[in-house]
Amino acid sequence: MTALTAIELAERIAAGAISARAAAEACLARIAERDAVVRAFVHLDPEYVLATADRLDAHRKAGRALGPLHGVPVALKDVIDTADMPTENGTPLDAGRRPRTDATITARLRSAGALILGKTVTTAMAYREPGPTTNPHNTAHTPGGSSQGSAAAVADGMVPLAVGTQTGGSVIRPAAFCGVVGFKPTHGAISLAGVLSTSTPLDTAGVFATNLTDAARLAEVLMGYDPADERTAMAAPPRLEAGAIAETPVEPTLAIVRGPAWPTASEETVGLFAEIADMLGERADEVELPDIFANGPAAHQRLMTVGFARHLKHYRERSEEGVDAWVRAAIDDGEAVSAVDYLAALDWQVALRAGLDRLLNRYDAIVTPAAAGTAPEGLSMTGDAAFQLLWTFVGAPTVTLPVGQGENGLPLGVQVVGRPGEDARLLRTAAWLQGKLSE
């Protein structure tokens, strides 16, 4: 049963061919078999999960309307509030914390009929200090971060869908390292009310799935206006699932962009992109970003560290020892940023978005590395965000596709970047690219 896609599972549950309880039992069995090694979950209550599944089955048997994810298990990164489970934000300072209300993400999943399976491991306060999660393909290697548990759980077949967050590269990188689809929508497309804040101009929710269409359905459920989050727009959410399965009206033209971090790319990544350029032929051009994009990483760092100083300093005031060294250093850096430099970083966001817009007037999407290479060995670090943070900085929708393996057998991925606000078009183009690369 764990081999079914999320959409196939939803369809069979709706038809009564499979019960929500059976789906939950299959996930719990896989977790019992593997999580002692992968360590993706930080909170799991099997009895509660089965009781919830039984309620979902009773709902269906009563002939009531079913949501698009009815009975489908979904895991949540442990920075997303859940009123019926702990939300501990990867820090001992929040041990046992029980939110009074659900995050908007959680509430929308419940409205769609999803079964919240449990909470997945996050790095400490969604930053750099790793949790215990390992890479399912080789447990001696990192799964990436900060949404490490969500990516690993989907990659290992413990759950068909999971939700994470990204402020630098925390969806795209672990998806690439674990060999699953990771989709980070346009900044502000998904409400973050009830989610740990680290940097308001950068924080974005994202999703993990084994395929593009499942990722599209999950993200579509989560998108939409929320008065509790001023970053969301009062507009109808895009039809992502339809976009992911739609035929392109004409073959897309893609920009192959190496980006500022290209010197750090592994030989395997360099070889992969040479193959991609050859396979795409006249459907792709190798494009150099304008020089102004070199200002993106430093500006991103300023916005992020100021956000840490604003949103996370209260933890440090409670306990200096309870906050890891990475977060303490980020808070210190943020406090040292002047107001002028912070506002200049916001100006760079506007400038680089305009530069991206001009590039995407000529091309349907950008193809760029999802990470420098395969997942690094060791669990003391989660890898480098250099290939992801530029696109997070400009708020663009991005998706990572697993397209190959390195010599060590670990996954290699590519990242596809679209114009902010054109998430459905990005997924349509990514589906075309995936098909083209698999020919």
- The three-state secondary structure class of 128 is coil
- The three-state secondary structure class of 306 is helix
Tokens describing residue 391: 């696109």
For residues 374 and 295, give the distance between their C-alpha atoms in angstroms, rounded to a whole number.
27
Helix orientation angle between 296-311 and 339-360, rounded to the nearest 10 degrees: 130
Please provide the distance, in angstroms rounded to a whole number, between the alpha carbons at the two ends of the chain: 28
Does the annotation count 146 as an active-site position? yes
Dihedral angle at the C-alpha atoms of 357, 265, 120, 329, nearest 10 degrees? -90
- What would the DSSP string read from start to end of 216-240? HHHHHHHBS--TT-TTS-SSPPP-H
For residues 417 and 183, give the distance between their C-alpha atoms in angstroms, rounded to a whole number.
10
Place of tokens 């949404």: 147
For residues 410 and 375, give the distance between their C-alpha atoms in angstroms, rounded to a whole number.
7
Tokens describing residue 111: 């409205």
Nearest to 383 by CA among 164, 223, 172: 172
Which one of the listed residues 19, 147, 150, 170 is annotated catalytic? 170
For residues 260 and 293, give the distance between their C-alpha atoms in angstroms, rounded to a whole number.
8
Strands 365-369, 411-417: parallel, antiparallel or unpaired by DSSP? Answer: antiparallel
- Is residue 243 within 8 Å of 428, Cβ to Cβ? yes
- Is residue 76 within 8 Å of 82, Cβ to Cβ? yes
Q: Which residues contact 48 (CB under 8 A, 6 or more apart)?
A: 84
Which one of the listed residues 77, 119, 150, 184 is annotated catalytic? 77
- Is residue 35 within 8 Å of 9, Cβ to Cβ? no
What is the C-alpha R_g of the chain?
A: 20
Which one of the listed residues 19, 146, 150, 191 is annotated catalytic? 146
- The three-state secondary structure class of 75 is strand
- Is residue 216 within 8 Å of 423, Cβ to Cβ? no
Does the annotation count 77 as an active-site position? yes
Nearest to 400 by CA among 202, 211, 164: 211
Partnered with residue 119 across adjacent β-strands are 43, 76
C-alpha count within 13 angstroms, C-beta hemisphere, residue 378? 6
Q: Which residues contact 256 (CB under 8 A, 6 or more apart)?
A: 273, 276, 277, 280, 284, 285, 286, 287, 366, 367, 368
User: Which residues are part of the catalytic machinery?
Assistant: 77, 146, 170
